[in-house]
Chains A and B, each alone.
Chain A
Amino acid sequence: MSVWPEALKIFTFGFTSVFFILGALSLSVVITRALLGKFGAAPKKG
């Protein structure tokens, strides 16, 4: 049986998922920053 259909699935699903998850993480950083800006103290150099 050919491995290529399965391989294509791993590539398509895998690579887009990596982007999606790191994109979601990036968004969560922005949201956290906004929430801390709204409800937290002014940022100090950490």
Chain B
Amino acid sequence: MADTLFTFIHSMGFYHLTVGNLIMWLISFALMFLAIRKGYEPLLLIPIGFGIFIVNLPLTNLMENHQILHIFYHYGLEWELIPPIIFLGLGAMTDFGPVIANPKTLLLGAAAQFGVYIAFFFALGLGFTIPEACSIGIIGGADGPTTIFTTVALAPHLLGATAVAAYSYMALVPVIQPPIIKMMTTKKERLIRMKQLRPVSKRQKIIFPLVTCGLVCLFVPASAALMAMFMLGNFFRESGVVERLSGTAQNELMNIVTIFLGIAVGGTMSADAFLTPKALMVFAMGLVAFSFSTIGGLCLAKLMNVFSKEKINPMIGAAGVSAVPMAARVVQKMGAAEDPRNFLLMHAMGPNVAGVIGTVVAAGLFLTMAQ
């Protein structure tokens, strides 16, 4: 009788709960709280948080071979299927009009990759290997799917930490960026008004995804999976003749893969894998990456003003970190706080979407050189 009782108790998850599991539950509750109460990236943080919770329920073995979370992880992430599909949806949602109207904003998107490389160096200094440092650096691009795509290829054991760091910092853009922008710019610079963007023809918008896809994929073939899908989604949108496909890419399909992505990322965050000094260092490096990316964009914008007759408001450089459209909204809000009649949103959208292209290029280069 006692033996049966002991076996019964032993078969329960309660018996096998560890302090690590409880800590991970707290982390999952914190992410879900931020999503529900504060509205921070709820579409991702809810499934990630729940994924963390269920993977830390002892004896459920949801990440073992052929179990549900492992299936999502294996076919969705290890096969690198989900990030390109998310990019298809992002492309269908993105208007490249501001970039086409003011193409020099593409350079601001490039400058905002500065943090990616700074964090890469910092990570190496902390003892990470080159592939790990690349996966950590790419957090600075503030682009979740690209971070996941790079990490799965280069350092899959860091996936949980890099993905959660990327999405957490993206959600914290309105908190992280304003003090850096204020520190790096003068009041006079923040008051600069920019001329209204010129109109962009439909024909230019249709040609842009084709040219971008061809050019980037020829330069960096390793980025083709993300870039091709990003531009295909945009081509759906701009062609104007496949509204059903465009709608599916940005709504139903995107929603479905977002569920799989979130739960698969959460599934990688078991206590054994996540509660390590390395994971904490990844979070710290993510903040470094994000801050320096903001600084990189601001510095190039200021430099452009030295050589250009037509001044740009340097704050739009900060929007070069992807985080679309949150980073652009931060710039608009800060501009309006200085001068309520200064409308910077569309100007900031240029570097913002250019930042997405820049991050994909940086990721492709990392994959080419570090794999």
- Residues of A whose CB lies within 8 Å of any CB of B are 3-4, 6-7, 9-11, 13-15, 17-19, 21-30, 32-33, 36, 40-41, 43-46
For B240, give the chain A residue with the smallest CB separation. A46
A-B contact count (CB 8 A): 117
For B211, give the chain A residue with the smallest CB separation. A28
| Distance (whole angstroms) from the CB of A1 to the closest CB of chain B | 11
Contact indicator B103/A17 (Cβ below 8 Å): no
Cα–Cα distance between A18 and B362 once the two chains are bound (Å): 6
Chain B residues with CB under 8 A of A6? 130
Tell me whether A3 and B130 are in contact in the complex, defined as CB-CB below 8 angstroms, given that A17-B361, A21-B361, A44-B201 are known contacts: yes
Chain B residues with CB under 8 A of A4? 124
Contact indicator A43/B201 (Cβ below 8 Å): yes
Tell me whether A44 and B366 are in contact in the complex, defined as CB-CB below 8 angstroms, given that A21-B219, A22-B107, A23-B110 are known contacts: no
A-side binding surface: helix, strand, loop or mixed? helix
In the assembled complex, 26 residue pairs joining A and B whose CB atoms fall closer than 8 Å, in A order, are A3-B124, A3-B129, A7-B121, A7-B130, A9-B369, A11-B117, A14-B362, A15-B113, A17-B219, A18-B110, A18-B361, A19-B107, A19-B110, A21-B215, A21-B361, A24-B219, A25-B106, A25-B216, A26-B104, A27-B103, A29-B204, A29-B211, A41-B201, A44-B201, A45-B200, A46-B204
| Distance (whole angstroms) from the CB of A10 to the closest CB of chain B | 5
Chain B residues with CB under 8 A of A17? 219-220, 361, 365
Chain B residues with CB under 8 A of A30? 103
Cα–Cα distance between A11 and B369 once the two chains are bound (Å): 10
For A44, give the chain B residue with the smallest CB separation. B201
A-facing residues in B204-221 (Cβ within 8 Å): 204-205, 207-208, 211-212, 215-216, 219-220
**Is B136's beta carbon under 8 Å from chain A?**
no
For A17, give the chain B residue with the smallest CB separation. B365
